Amino acid sequence: MPTHLARAAHAYWAYVRRAPGTHIWLVILFATTVVIRHVSPETAEHILEQRSTNLHQLAESPVRVLVTSAMWIAGGGWYFYFVLYNIFHVPAERWLGTGRWLAVLLIAHVGATYLSEGVLYWAIEHGHAPHSAVYTLDYGVSYALAGVEAVLTYRITAPWRYLYLGGLLFFYGLALVEGRDFTSVGHFSAVLLGLACYPLVRARPGLWDPVEAGRRTWRRLRRRPAAAR
Q: Residue ranges of the domains in the chain?
A: 3-228
- What CATH class is the domain 3-228? mainly alpha
The residues, ordered by sequence, that sit 6+ positions from 144 with a Cβ below 8 Å of its Cβ are 70, 105, 106, 108, 109, 190
What is the structure's pLDDT at 219? 65
User: What is the model's pTM?
Assistant: 0.84
Q: How many CB atoms sit inside 10 A of residue 99's CB?
A: 10
Task: With H, G, I as helix, E, B as strand and everything else as coil, classify residue 37.
Answer: helix
**C-alpha to C-alpha distances, 65 to 59, 196, 227, nearest whole angstrom:** 10, 24, 61
- pLDDT digits over 54-71, tens only? 999 999 999 999 999 999
Q: How many CB atoms sit inside 10 A of residue 67's CB?
A: 14
How far apart CA 27 and CA 21 sit, in angstroms, is 10
* Average pLDDT taken over every residue of the chain: 87
- pLDDT digits over 76-112, tens only? 789 999 999 999 999 999 999 999 999 999 999 999 9
- The long-range contacts involving 106-109, CB below 8 angstroms and separated by at least 24 positions, are 106/144, 107/147, 107/193, 107/194, 107/196, 107/197, 107/200, 108/143, 108/144, 108/146, 108/147, 108/148, 108/150, 108/190, 108/193, 108/194, 108/197, 109/66, 109/70, 109/141, 109/143, 109/144, 109/147, 109/190
Would you say residue 146 has pLDDT above 70?
yes
Nearest to 154 by CA among 210, 88, 87, 217: 210
